[in-house]
Amino acid sequence: MKMPPAGGMRNANEAQRTQRLQGKVLEVLAGPINSRVKVDIGAGNVVTSIVTAGAVEDLGISIGDEVQVVIKSSDVMLAK
């Protein structure tokens, strides 16, 4: 799947659905099913993502890698 460049959305609908943040991998905590990846996106901000262990392996993600954090509004939830 070809991804548009960071910040470069193809149309208005896509801009409403996703946000891309460039960052550097700080930590990868691998589990048997899922892995936790912490990404420094600058200005003291860190985004933590839970992804499948297979995705980390397939993408070859490791500490120090430059990555894009892709946030889809349908997948971001908070509760208190």
SS3 (DSSP) at 7: coil
Locate the DSSP E strands across 1-80: 18-30, 34-42, 45-52, 66-72
pLDDT of residue 2: 44
Domain ranges of the chain: 17-67
The secondary structure of residue 74, as a DSSP letter, is G
| C-alpha distance across the termini of the chain, in Å | 36
d(CA 48, CA 79): 16
d(CA 36, CA 11): 31
Q: Which CATH class is domain 17-67?
A: mainly beta
Q: What is the pLDDT of residues 24-76, one digit of tens each?
A: 999 999 999 999 999 999 999 999 999 999 999 999 999 999 999 988 776 66
Read off the pLDDT band of 1 (50, 70, 90). Answer: very low
Residue 15 has pLDDT above 70, yes or no: no
